[in-house]
Amino acid sequence: MSNTLLHAEYPVEAEDYTCAGEASADIKRKLKQLGVSANVLRRVAVASYEVELNLVIHSDGGVLSLEVTPDRVRLISKDRGPGIPDLDLAMREGWSTASETARSLGFGAGMGLPNMKRNADEFDIKSKVGEGTTIQMGFLLT
Amino acid sequence: MTIKELIPLIEAKELTKEADLNKEVLCGYTCDLLSWVMGHGQEGMAWVTVQTHMNVIAVALLSDMACVIMPEGIEMEKESLDKADAEGMCVLQSPLSSYEICGRMHEKGVPAE
């Protein structure tokens, strides 16, 4: 089962707007070095930035993981809470529960989750209030 | 149009020092909602925004944009400019409004996308 070409984990802290985007920049850099095509690279970059920002804006902190196998790039975001009460509503474009701080920085357009789903080839979100949210995205390389 | 040609068109000055001004500007955009821009950002884009914080540079870099333009003489924070310089992203400052900047770019053939 060891066909993993690359694995990296990035802890992301809640409300750390200064470092926001650093994990995504590193992911993009690593994938570029691996020779991933420009199209996949761009889609992964958008999705990883959105999921990283979601961890900063909405979660109590979590970890963003990158895994690359010969056939796909996988991004997994796992947070420590608080969980999403209504996933259908959260997936709706324009719906956002972002804080005033987040909005003043230009976030909270309610585009995060829809942007992720649009850019990934595979998208799965599971959430439990009081426990946390896990988002898995796959980007096909073949 | 290159960034070098864009500068006089919008009466801009360059706030960064390390960017390649021969980079081609392929399209133009203006918006201040960062997650909206993430959904629409494209390679070679000249993006006009009044936002000045570090995440602007992150978004521009992730979308492989050509440059970020501050309208109406808005100053960008030093931390953001340092990050832009470290990563080779160009930041311009223009005395014109976002509307005027986009109008001039469009008139000279820079498309919306």
**Chain B residues touching A38 at Cβ < 8 A:** 43
B42's CB contacts (< 8 A; 6+ apart) are B26, B27, B29, B63, B64, B65, B113
pLDDT band at A2 (very low <50, low <70, confident <90, very high): low
User: Which residues pair with residue A137 across a beta bridge?
Assistant: A75, A123
pLDDT over threshold 70, residue A1: no
Structural domain boundaries enclosing B76: 3-107
Closest-CA distance, A6 to chain B, in angstroms, reads: 20
| Contact criterion met (CB < 8 Å) for B34 and A109 | yes
- What local confidence, expressed as pLDDT, does residue A20 receive? 87
- What local confidence, expressed as pLDDT, does residue B78 receive? 95
Neighbours of B58 (CB within 10 A): 26
Using CA atoms, how far residue A23 sits from A124, A126, A138, B47, in Å, is 21, 22, 17, 23
**Chain B residues touching A53 at Cβ < 8 A:** 35, 55
B113: in domain: no
CA atoms of B34 and A140, how far apart (whole Å): 26
- Among partner residues B41, B55, B63, which is closest to A17 by beta-carbon distance? B55
Residue B73 near residue B93, CB atoms below 8 Å: yes
B112: in domain: no
pLDDT digits (tens, 9 = 90+) for A65-84: 999 999 999 999 999 999 99
Number of domains in chain B: 1
**Chain B residues touching A49 at Cβ < 8 A:** 38, 58-59, 62
Closest-CA distance, A1 to chain B, in angstroms, reads: 32
Instruction: Return the DSSP state at A25.
Output: H
A33: in domain: yes
B98: in domain: yes
| Contact criterion met (CB < 8 Å) for A50 and B35 | yes
pLDDT digits (tens, 9 = 90+) for A83-141: 999 999 999 988 888 888 888 888 888 888 998 999 999 999 999 999 999 999 999 99
Interface probe with B: pick from A26, A52, A107, most Cβ of B within 10 Å: A107
Question: Which chain B residue lies closest to A28 (C-alpha atoms)?
Answer: B62
Bond from prior residue into A82 cis (ω within 30 degrees of 0): yes
Tell me the DSSP string of B13-31.
Answer: EE--SS--TT-B--EEEE-
- Among partner residues A20, A24, A106, which is closest to B32 by beta-carbon distance? A106
Q: Which residues of chain B have pLDDT under 70?
A: none
Structural domain boundaries enclosing A91: 6-140
Using CA atoms, how far residue B97 sits from A1, A65, B64, B93, in Å, is 57, 41, 24, 11
Neighbours of A35 (CB within 10 A): 7
- Domain CATH code at residue B98: 3.40.1390.20
A1: in domain: no
- What local confidence, expressed as pLDDT, does residue A19 receive? 85
- Domain CATH code at residue A96: 3.30.565.10
pLDDT digits (tens, 9 = 90+) for A4-41: 999 999 999 999 988 888 999 999 999 999 999 988 99
- What local confidence, expressed as pLDDT, does residue B39 receive? 79
| Contact criterion met (CB < 8 Å) for B63 and A53 | no
| A64 or A107, which is more confident | A64
Strands (E), chain A: 6-12, 62-68, 72-79, 122-128, 132-140
Number of domains in chain A: 1
Q: Ramachandran region of residue B13, left (φ > 0), alpha (ψ -120 to 50) or beta?
A: beta
- Among partner residues A20, A28, A115, which is closest to B38 by beta-carbon distance? A115
pLDDT over threshold 70, residue A46: yes
